[in-house]
Structure 1
Amino acid sequence: MIMPVHNALPYLDAAVESILSQTFSDFEFVILDDASTDGSTQRLHHWASRDARIRLLHEDRNLGPARSSERVARAASAPIVARMDADDISFPQRLADQLAVLDRYPAVGVVGGLFDIIDANGRIVRGPELWRVRQPASVPPFGNGPLTYRREVFDQVGGYREECEFWEDNDLILRMAAVTKIMVLPYSVYQVRQAGISNRLSSEQQRVERAVDLMYRARTRLDQGLTYDDLLRSSLKDDRKVSPQVFVSLGSIVLWAGGRPRLFKRLLSRGELGFDRRSLTALVWTAWGTVEPRSLRAFIRLLLLGRKLRTRLVMRIDGPVLWPMLRSHRPIPALSSQPGRTRKAFDAAYAVEPAEALSPTSRRTLK
């Protein structure tokens, strides 16, 4: 288990406790303190003194999201690595469920899961959304938080790339999908917190906008059947106009945190606007969010409900789902996604020995 940390208070304790309380408990928890200045360092030392599974690493200068992710990932030595973000929550059964999938399917190199979105107070503002597994191959259905992978796959694709800062998780998962099978647990294993300490909100605004714009440019390339590596090497002007989608993406963090995304004027000055659907959508979204965010949230929830109902009509899910779904239009039956699953029922469904790949003993014997 790995987790980079930079100024994660007041949510850090809940994140750490959610990992230490996993039903599967035989693992090492590698945490990188990425030059925190808000008291996170002291809290991490407190937790490390209480639980011997924690191994702390420290950086004197802030590496940023991509480099800190790479640093802590390289420090892990187990053959299976699970990721955690410092302001989020992992449900108690997360590791057990994901490891069981890897146990049963040796050809699967990555396991993710659906997730809730919670606000700063821990209130669920959006539940698990199954439609995510039907997204195109350019849009992973999960990010860093619910990610668990075989270390050999991570090494094969070269790990996190600094050029993809602020979307390094998407880039990593996309490259992993090119070399291995990815499965998604069709229920919430994780809670993603939308709050003011998000890297995308706490970092320099224009830098984040350029990075998210690059992500959308990369997605466009993939949808066209092309690669995007050349985009990472190209030198674009720092003051260039960016995709209107950038402002919806960044505004969504504020919106679901319960705030008012005031990005309409920013869109007008920085957005690459045209007479097209994405420009119109961004103009309406940012104006609406600036004036009346509560009704915008209600409208989006209504749209998501329609998407959820359509997904239920076309998909019958009894277990982990392959992503991208083009690889298989039929989900592999292995695990009930009904609420109220017990550990005993889960193990019986898989009929495998308990996973040991995260244990310190396995790390010493499996190199």
Structure 2
Amino acid sequence: MGYRVAVVGATGNVGREMLNILHERQFPVTEVVALASKRSVGREVSFGDKNLKVKALEDFNFTGTDFALFSAGGSVSAKYAPIAASQGAIVIDNSSHFRMDPDVPLVVPEVNPEAAAGYTRKNIIANPNCSTAQLVVALKPLHDVATIKRVVVSTYQSTSGAGNAAMDELFTQTKGIYVNDAPTPDKFTKQIAFNVIPHIDVFMDDRYTKEEWKMMVETKKIVDSAIKLTATCVRVPTFVGHAESVNIEFENELSADRAREILREAPGIMVVDNPEENGYITPVECVGDYATFISRIRDDATIENGINLWCVSDNLRKGAALNTVQIAELVGREYLKKAA
């Protein structure tokens, strides 16, 4: 036996990755339905060796659907996720809309799988922000050993995090610069080709951006509310893969060597850390991989108990689609057991 799964936003970057990962991980399905807005009806998307015709979300009845995987933006989730949940589907939502709802668990399966049990309150589980997801995978095993006091993180986030049009803008600007076309910003506030932009999402009253705020509050909800975190989130001219420079201060002693040992044994992590052999991972090397890669683990000599590390992951996978499918696997395995 298997599950009936609906993928909402199936024509987008993350929706397509969800379909790929459902197939790659052999998620037990009896039927997969591709949903998007009415303007996409009739388009085809791939699921393994099959092509699925897109159906209209607006007209879809979720009765009989086990999982509804949403990746179509906050406004779509706000309207249709409660409808899907009320019709019996367990919604796993990739937007920011439900993340801080106290009745909706925010889950990264390697970090807080026990939180998934709370899905019964609204039949909805939230997926964290892409930059948060890879960060907490790295933080949790270290926190369990030495208790994290404070985190300072700077992100280097690819254009795919802003969608297809943002990736197209990077491509068009890059190509245009070589033929002396002026790079005109559209999806970004400034030129993205051959540039970096310290601005993701809107600015808030305290001068942090909402992306930076998300990293702070989501890390607290997923790992520990006592952790202090400050972030600077930067868009960089890459297509896929988010990187993060992370400085961590602990309550208790933890050396870089011990941290390296802990991370090597942690779920979802691949440690590649041998500077003499250029042993570190860059965004282009993580694309298409499930792992969160950790490199450049080293002691911070400026504080008593501190380390620095470099964290890289495919944002379309662990930052979005993979984490969504892993949540569905967790719920199916622990609570539904339909496919056992």
TM-score strictly above 0.5: no
If the TM-score is normalised by the length of the shorter chain, which range does it land in? Answer: 0.3 to 0.5
More strand by share: 2
More helix by share: 1
